[in-house]
Amino acid sequence: MSIYNKINAGFALGTAEPVTSGIEDVIYIFNQDDITLTFDTTNPLIVTGLTTVSAAKIYKFNGTNNSFNTISKLAKTSVGPRYTEEIDFNIAGLSVDIKTQLQAMGYGRVCAIAVNNYNASDSAIELFGAVNGLILTDAERSAADETMDGGYKLKLTNPDKLREPYPPRAVSIAPESGSATYVSTIAAIEALVAA
Amino acid sequence: MTNDPMTKKYILKPGKHQFAPGSHATHHNDNLTDAEAEWYLERYPHIATLFEATPFPEVKSVKSPKIKSVKPSSQKPVKSKKNEDLPATN
């Protein structure tokens, strides 16, 4: 049995790759039922593969001006740490199609992949909602709001009474040959994005 | 129901795999026998890509459509009218 409650490494501060804040202005969202995940054999925090069920796809939501955000927060419980997850993003548009997607995200469960601005680490690309999925809990459009200029302000979170048992997973997908990199992972995700 | 890695037909790619979305990722080479692999492949054909390149007699591989060579049509090509044959419009 693996030793799950003993730390085995520290952290040294350095100037080679200082951490930076923010995520890129893109969120990849897919229906939880549409994609199966492959995890690293020894570390369940690493997702090494995404496999679509039939013709399922990943959908890409673009934004601008560093306006997307992800939050992962530990919640202490009687049975160990759990994690609440939030993804704040927006849609700079207004259409029936957008409303349809937002309505679907309110009913069904989705998973979301965010790309950190800090991409020098092996956790640059993170998957949220891997176990219990996420649902849309805030979808606000204030037509006269100057900050959003009539766009949709959105938030994906864990469904009621559910939290994730792990921190956000790192997505790290290798190319056909060689080891996984930031670029190979983005390429693998983009290959599944709906045209 | 052998799981001998030397004689196994169905070899999974490295990692622990989900065979159905949302399920626990439990499937890996050490615990998947050929018989189980065939059972799962029959019910969840999308997992075929999770296996290394091994013969899949039960799973029809998607072949790329053959591009037929375009034969020249039997009809004689219609010669375009020469400029001088065209009726004058002005």
> How far apart, in Å, are the Cα atoms of A29 and each of A61, A91, A106?
8, 13, 13
In angstroms, the separation between the Cα of residue A8 and the nearest Cα of chain B is 23
- Within 10 angstroms of residue A133's Cβ, the number of other Cβ atoms is 22
Residue B77, pLDDT above cutoff 50? no
Q: What is the band of B90 on the pLDDT scale with cuts at 50, 70, 90?
A: very low
The answer to the question of residue A32 being in a domain is yes
Q: What is the pLDDT of residue A2?
A: 65
Q: Model's pTM, two decimal places?
A: 0.83
The answer to the question of residue A187 being in a domain is yes
CA dist A58 and B9 (Å) reads 32
- The verdict on a CB contact (< 8 Å) between B16 and A44 is yes
The answer to the question of residue A2 being in a domain is no
B14 touches chain A (CB under 8 A): yes
Mean pLDDT, contiguous 10-residue spans, chain A (195 residues): 82 92 96 95 94 90 95 95 96 96 95 95 95 96 92 96 95 92 95 90
CA dist B80 and B89 (Å) reads 18
Strand order in the sheet with A35-39: A59-62, A23-31, A110-116, A125-128, A169-171, A46-52, A35-39, B16-17
Q: What is the pLDDT of residue A10?
A: 94
Whole domain around residue A151: which residue ranges? 23-191
Q: What is the pLDDT of residue B7?
A: 79
Residue B60, pLDDT above cutoff 90? no
User: Is residue B88 exposed (0-12), middle (13-18) or buried (19+ Cβ within 10 Å)?
Assistant: exposed
**Minimum-distance CB partner of A53 among B16, B25, B46:** B46
The dihedral through the CA atoms of B42, B44, B47, B48 has a sign that is positive
In angstroms, the separation between the Cα of residue B68 and the nearest Cα of chain A is 27
Instruction: Find the mean pLDDT for residues B50-73.
Output: 54
The answer to the question of residue A150 being in a domain is yes
In angstroms, the separation between the Cα of residue B54 and the nearest Cα of chain A is 16
Q: What ipTM, to 2 d.p.?
A: 0.83
CA dist B44 and A62 (Å) reads 32
- pLDDT digit string, tens, across residues A27-63: 999 999 999 999 999 999 999 999 999 887 999 999 9
The answer to the question of residue A13 being in a domain is no
Q: What is the pLDDT of residue A37?
A: 95
Number of domains in chain A: 1
